Chain A
Amino acid sequence: MSKHSTIKVGTIDWLAVIFYMALVVSGWLSIYASVYDMETGKSIFDIQTNSGRQFLWMLVSWLIIIPIITVDYKLFDSLAYLLYILTLVILVLVIFFGTEIRGSHSWITVFGFRFQPLELAKITTSLTIARYLSKYDTKIGLMKSQIILFSLIGIPALLIIGGGETGSALVFAAFVFVFYREGMSGNILLFAFLFIILFGLTLMLNIYYLLAGLGVITFIIGILLRKNKNALIFIITAGIISMGIVLSENYLLHHVLKPHQIRRLETLVNPNADPLGMGWNVTQSKIAIGSGGFLGKGFLEGTQTKFDFVPEQSTDFIFCTIAEEKGFTGSIIIIGLFVALFIRIILIAERQKSAFSRIYAYCVLSVLFFHFAINIAMTLGLAPVIGIPLPFISYGGSSLVGFTMLFFIMLKLDAYQGFILR
């Protein structure tokens, strides 16, 4: 990272704001395209349509930016724990008193507006992790710190699962990026990777065959490496951990996940097994994207993403509309914008003098990246259908407001990059 010669106090990173605006506006246009009806030709501002409502939410988000920019930046640090605990209380309350929407008890209704507190949880958890990790006595290598850190992300995740939003709960796994950046063993990423691979295998294979297979592989490699004692211990440990993972995942599959969630996962493995059921989303999404070609069909000219071919068009599958109407070029531009944004966030993070600000920026990066990766992978048929939005692009008031707050708190902190908090 290059050193910055001048410290611009109170100045927003305008490039980041430009990326943000570009994504929000293209999202808004795509939402319009996905709900556009050639015949009625309703305006993009029509409040009856998702695009009109999204515009309102955009305004609301921008209004919320004002207090974020104007409050004392130290507040985010000092209030972090309080806000976190408050969020946990809301998450508990929402399980019991929340408004139920499509089987999910994760909404609260305030003055007629529905809001998902789990969006709030992403922000307050980020602040809390930043505060905890930036404490002078936190040593990330210590078991105690690690337990606390995983609890900090585990508790809201479990409460969100309790509210019926398993997909969103997965987002909290993204914080391992932060832990990794802050010095936790690189094995954490390998472990996460192993977890995902084994999860796929658990879905596809009989549990006993899988366990036996893992045993055999461990045994064979063990024999090959029998001369090297350290490697042998590593392999045996890895084998046992793998089996443990498989067993716990198997338990998860059969006792925690609901049938529709399991079906979503199975669909990932073989979308053609049930072309009109769960595989429908994936297949139709791929058809829509495939039909876009190089340049796309043109704005509002999409066919596959209208009607009901792709369900949840303007929310979770919004990328389809972009890929269909804007084609390969448009898709690359959107992906490029995200990548540019992520690189910019890393740059912002690394230029912070304050650990709190840096860690928070990495939290923002992790959350946004996880959404981006899972959402587009799902649309492209590379990940199971997990109902999480594409940040800044997908239709939805809570997520837009949430991501905007998350993002602008980072920019606010960045405006004081030269100061060390505490």
Chain B
Amino acid sequence: MNFNSNRVIIIRLIILATAIIFVARLFYLQLIDSSYKASAEGNIIRRVTAYPSRGLIFDRDSEIVVCNAPIYDLMLVPHQVKKIDTLKFCQLLNLPIEEFIKRYKICKKFSAYIPSVFESQLSNSMYGRLQEFLIEFPGFYVQPRTIRDYPSLSGAHVFGYTGEISKKKLKKIGGEYRMGDYIGISGLEESYESLLKGMRGVRHVMVNVRGAEMGAFKEGLYDTVSISGLDLTSTLKSSLQKYGEQLMVNKTGAIVCIEPSSGEVLAFVSSPTYNPVELTGKGFSTNYKKLSMDTLKPLFNRSIMAQYPPGSVFKIVNHLIALQEKLINNQTSFSCDGAYNIASLSVGCHPHSSPLNLEQSIQYSCNSYYCYVFRYILENNKYKNIEMTYSSWRNHVTSLGFGNILNTDLPNEKGGFIPPTSYYNKYFGAGKWKWTTVISLAIGQGEILCTPLQLANFASIIANRGFYYIPHFVKRISHSDQIKSKYRQKNYSDFDSIHFITLINGMKRAVDDGTATMAKIKDIEICGKTGTAQNPHGKDHSIFIGFAPKDNPKIAVAAIIENSGFGGTWAAPLASLMVEKYLTDTISRGWIEEYILKADLLKK
């Protein structure tokens, strides 16, 4: 051939050289270097999160009220499944065969090699049944994890619930949370999330191509251990809580019991409630949907979120203000002929003897008496004008914990409403309103609103003769008593303790022989005040606040039963049952208990 034959040889050589390089490289990769072979065995290092166990919650008697329950997810690695007895498997799982095929396809579609959940949260009996046969079904295995459990089956509104973190929240707080993580969504689960959650650990595991773990990477050199969340001791008394929830069946409303000497909440009932277990695990979404659709709003925490006019209970406030401002004294009497009439204004009253002194005004809850008192307060010549007088009145009221949130340790607390001066100025025009305009405030009607927690706290202030601790729900964190200092600090109201004497005597008489006689308990000196709050949405709300014993009180209570009628008829006996249960752990008045338990006071 021509000169090109050299070039043809060079081209051939290039081809051969390339082939030789490839063969040499293959020789090295496939026959010499064993590290690639080893890599193929443990192809990837998988970071496995070690989830910490969430902190437990105990009640004040160290009874476990919130804990973690192990559940078992049935996992499937489709690619490992080999000739299984599908029929037997479906029988074990109580699963129609079509469903089996459907789920299998879904898992398979996701990945043939990565495990997916085939059936989440097997029941214990199912798990037991399945366990011994699992060996016959390669590709299926059971993976344990935990969900929240509430063994007391009560206190849903205190403990709240946990659930998967939402995308929105994840975006907002991010940090250590990841998609699919559980987080406290309401109640103590939410407010103590940072303590309860613990710290997650991470394991580095070598995983082969079939997803099977091949052991720890570098013998766990880079692994961290998960740290359990801190345990909380709640202030609740679980037995009292349960009893309260039982009493409130077929009633809407709330009961709050507080230990006055510490501000610890003993019972916190919002009715209707739900079984906290309903919002765990498998049934979460269906139950949540059901609960949120319920017209009685069981998810709504009435005890801190519902705001009611306090009704006659509020007379106590005006009583204290008038004494503190030295506008009346213990002997001040007013007569009442069944109504308070001045000019065009008339406030009705109910029949009782007349005239009444200060103590009797509480005993019989006289409307006319408090109209007089209120006039005194708002016509106090100490102040220049109505605005200043009203502001002074309002300051006294708010010193009792009304009108603002109390800052308890549950989320979403509402503050109630005590109208500021500007409210009336805006409504009626500055200087164009006077005491008669706002006369309904005398008897706790009108614009004012408060939450059941505020009412219970108010009862606690009376029991303490003038001060309160912010009501709270956690008394111990882990094994130390280090709760926030704000819960250990006395908050004084504007009122000297001396002004509570007549008041408390009046409240004692109201129970013994006044408006709240159904709250009377043998051998227990219980003091109380009823309220009957008018509201535009139906029957009056029945309200009662009280405490017992009269000296050295152990429990303060507020009860509200929506749309049920007089305070003395429902709220008073109901609250007295709570008091009796707490103080004596027995109920001496079976008929009262039965009367309350049987009552169906749901708004029809």
Contact = CB atoms under 8 A, between A and B. Distances in A.
Nearest to A184: B7
A144 B4 CA distance: 22
A194 B7 CA distance: 19
Contacts of B39: 287, 290-291
Interface of B: prevailing SS: helix
A289 interface: yes
A342 B27 CA distance: 22
Given A293-B37, A309-B43, A309-B209, A328 B25 contact: no
A286 interface: yes
Contacts of B123: none
Contacts of A294: 30-31
A406 interface: no
Interface stretch (B15-23, B231-239, B569-577): B15-23
Interface of B: 1, 3-5, 7-8, 10-12, 14-16, 18-19, 21-23, 25-27, 29-31, 33, 35-37, 39-40, 43, 78-79, 81-82, 108, 112-113, 208-210
A39 B8 contact: no
A372 B22 CA distance: 11
A290 B37 contact: yes
B31 A293 contact: yes
B27 A350 contact: no
Nearest to B19: A339
A331 B30 contact: yes
Contact of A346 (B8, B25, B29): B8
Give the most central of B15, B31, B79: most A CB within 10 Å. B15
A38 interface: yes
A301 B35 CA distance: 20
Contacts of B209: 303-304, 306-307, 309
9 contacts: A37-B79, A39-B79, A182-B4, A289-B26, A303-B40, A304-B40, A307-B112, A335-B19, A350-B8
Contacts, number: 113
Given A39-B79, A294-B31, A350-B1, A382 B25 contact: yes
Interface string A324-347: 000110011001101100110010
Ordered nearest first, which 8 A-B pairs have the shortest CB separation?
A290-B36, A291-B40, A303-B209, A328-B30, A287-B39, A290-B29, A380-B25, A339-B19
A339 B16 contact: yes
B457 to A, nearest CB: 57
B78 A328 contact: no
Contact of A303 (B3, B4, B23, B210): B210
Interface in A288-312: 288-294, 303-304, 306-307, 309
Interface string A267-298: 00000000000000000101111111110000
Nearest to A291: B40
Nearest to A342: B15
A132 interface: no
A70 to B, nearest CB: 31
B36 A287 contact: yes
Given A180-B11, A290-B37, A338-B19, A331 B26 contact: yes
Nearest to A296: B30
Interface string A356-382: 000000000100010011001100101
Contacts of B29: 286, 289-290, 323, 380
Given A183-B4, A288-B40, A293 B113 contact: no
Nearest to A276: B44
Interface of A: 1, 37-39, 177, 180-183, 186, 284, 286-294, 303-304, 306-307, 309, 323, 327-328, 331-332, 335-336, 338-339, 342-343, 346, 350, 365, 369, 372-373, 376-377, 380, 382
B112 A287 contact: no
Given A180-B7, A350-B1, 9 more contacts: A1-B1, A39-B81, A180-B10, A284-B43, A287-B43, A304-B209, A323-B30, A339-B15, A369-B18
A38 B27 CA distance: 29
Contacts of B33: 290
A287 B40 contact: yes
A365 B208 CA distance: 41
Contacts of B43: 284, 287, 304, 309
Nearest to B34: A290
A32 B18 CA distance: 28
A133 to B, nearest CB: 13
A336 B113 CA distance: 35
A357 B40 CA distance: 48
Nearest to A295: B30
B19 A292 contact: no
A294 B34 CA distance: 12
Contacts of B112: 37, 39, 307
Contact of B22 (A286, A350, A380): A380
Contacts of B11: 177, 180-181, 346, 365
Interface of A is mostly: helix
B213 to A, nearest CB: 16
Given A293-B31, A339-B16, A339-B19, A332 B26 contact: yes
A328 B7 contact: no
A287 to B, nearest CB: 5
Nearest to B211: A307
Contacts of B21: 382
A186 B14 CA distance: 13
A307 B111 CA distance: 9
A116 B29 CA distance: 34
- Identify the interface centre among A183, A339, A350: most chain B CB within 10 Å of its CB: A339
Contact of A291 (B19, B22, B36): B36
A181 B78 contact: no
Nearest to A377: B22
Contacts of B37: 290-291, 293
B30 A39 contact: no
Given A181-B4, A307-B209, A39 B78 contact: yes
A1 B37 CA distance: 45
Max chain A C-beta neighbours (<10 A), residue from B22, B37, B81: B22
Given A38-B79, A327-B30, A376 B22 contact: yes
A309 B81 CA distance: 21
B12 to A, nearest CB: 6
A300 to B, nearest CB: 13
Given A339-B19, A342-B15, A377-B22, A289 B79 contact: no
Contacts of A290: 29-30, 33, 35-37, 39-40
Which residue among B11, B25, B40, B108 has the maximum number of chain A CB atoms within 10 Å of its CB?
B40
Contacts of A181: 4, 7-8, 11
A309 B43 CA distance: 9
A377 B23 CA distance: 11
Contacts of A382: 21, 25
Nearest to B27: A328
Nearest to A376: B22
A238 B343 CA distance: 116
A55 B262 CA distance: 82
A332 B8 contact: no
A330 to B, nearest CB: 10
Contacts of A331: 23, 26, 30
A390 to B, nearest CB: 12
Contacts of A377: 22
Contact of A380 (B5, B14, B26): B26
A307 B12 CA distance: 39
B574 to A, nearest CB: 64
A364 to B, nearest CB: 13
Given A289-B30, A328-B27, A335-B19, A346 B12 contact: yes
A380 B25 CA distance: 7
Contacts of A182: 4
A342 B78 CA distance: 44
A39 B139 CA distance: 11
A401 B21 CA distance: 29
A45 to B, nearest CB: 21
B549 to A, nearest CB: 70
A290 B38 CA distance: 9
